[in-house]
Amino acid sequence: MDYYKDIFPDRPYLEDLDLRSFPESPAYIIDEQALERNLEILKEIKDKTDCKILLALKAFSNYKTFPLIKKYLDGCCASSLWEAQLAYEEFGKEVHTYSPSYRSDELNQISSYSNHIIFNSVQELKRYKASLKGTELGLRINPEHSETDVELYNPCSKFSRLGAKLADLEGLDIDAISGFHLHTLCQKGADALERTLAVFEEKFHKFLPKLKWLNLGGGHHITQVGYDKDLLMRLINKLKTKYDLQVYLEPGEAVAINTGSLLCTVLDTFESAGIHHAIVDISATCHMPDVLEMPYRPDIRGAGEEGQKKFSYRLGGTSCLAGDSIGIYSFEEELKRGDRLLFDDMSHYTMVKTSFFNGVRHPSIYLKDKSRRDVLLKKFTYEDYRSKL
């Protein structure tokens, strides 16, 4: 995750944020200007290829920003009934739903919200296709070509449960579906897509002329500094010309990357076994779980690596999980109770994966709007915690 350091100078956000005077801590803060900057990049891709781009709700689903996002994007992709309902009610444009499997008692409701329903296997497609008249159906494909290094996020790992392989398509009624869904990437450039498409076309080319659309999924780092947009556009236009297909992309991280931060406050500092510790009013396990799952070390604005600056601290959260540690950071000055810190790039995935574990106070959500006001979008209360249980 060191790329955050490399790209921040070229993707500034929340530069005018005054940590000391901000209304409260902890808080997620989304920069509306930065969000629109990403959307304008995605719109350029749309305008030059006539592809359609969907917001992946699994990565960013703050629906109070949807009025801005839907000016630029074509709809949302959902992974569940509730995400499909949120997209239908709050975004109001195309809804494409994919799940590794569907509950039979939810599928009719999902279809009422969705323009496309994408199945994970041929057998589930056969099971439900007759009952879903009027909804375009698709099938997720696994081309068995990996570009993702971290196995936890690799859709094409050896034992992946995601998508149908070529051998699974024997006897497929191609007329029952209108498109293929292909999601193989995670934080990758257009070169990874080019290699993937070469394998995909070699294996599945005979089906493509019979399809109406091809969804290339997410994981495209389109708004990342250095991403080869020209190559992406050539790949899309080649597919459209060669097979007369509508091409979809469904990025999530590319929509929200470098658009927001998580503000926290130092509650206590102490020394133990020769290590200086600082406890902050957030939690890795509750508020930034990818820190423990991937794992990775998020950046703190103005901080350095261990030993890089004068004073180093191991930062810990307020949950009782022994491993609720965010990482070791160094600072030019000693940390003291009441100091505020800003964790960068916390809009995508982080907010949607939070929990109320231990009843730890949940960060409020703010938007620094284009007029640079700090607008409170959501303040969590005891009742939010209580009602979840």
Question: Do the beta carbons of residue 184 and residue 198 sit within 8 Å?
Answer: no
Find the helix or strand (DSSP H, E) in which 73 lies.
Answer: none
Is 83 annotated as belonging to a binding site?
no
Residue 123 contacts by C-beta under 8 Å, 6 or more apart in sequence? none
Residue ranges of the alpha helices (H) in 50-165? 66-69, 81-86, 107-113, 122-128
Question: Do the beta carbons of residue 233 and residue 16 sit within 8 Å?
Answer: no
Residue type, 369: D
- Measuring CA to CA, how many Å separate 74 from each of 52, 110, 215, 223? 6, 19, 13, 17
Tell which residue, 385, 262, 257, has the closest CA to residue 315. Answer: 262
| Parallel/antiparallel/unpaired status of strands 75-78 and 260-272 | unpaired
Residue 34 contacts by C-beta under 8 Å, 6 or more apart in sequence? 11, 12, 13, 14, 258, 259, 260
Q: Determine the straight-line distance between the first and last CA of the chain, rounded to whole angstroms.
A: 34
Burial of 180 from C-beta contacts in 10 A (0-12 / 13-18 / 19+): buried
Question: Do the beta carbons of residue 290 and residue 351 sit within 8 Å?
Answer: no
Is 290 annotated as belonging to a binding site?
yes
Question: Do the beta carbons of residue 217 and residue 184 sit within 8 Å?
Answer: yes
Tell which residue, 11, 17, 66, has the closest CA to residue 34. Answer: 11
Cis amide prior to 155 (ω within 30 degrees): no
Determine the Cα–Cα distance for residues 326 and 277; give it in Å rounded to an integer. Answer: 11
- Angle in degrees, CA 259, 294, 150, rounded to 5: 105
Tell which residue, 248, 244, 324, has the closest CA to residue 282. Answer: 324
Query: Residue written as tokens 């109070």?
Result: 64
Q: Which residues are annotated as a binding site?
A: 253, 290
Q: Which residues are annotated as a binding site for substrate?
A: 253, 290
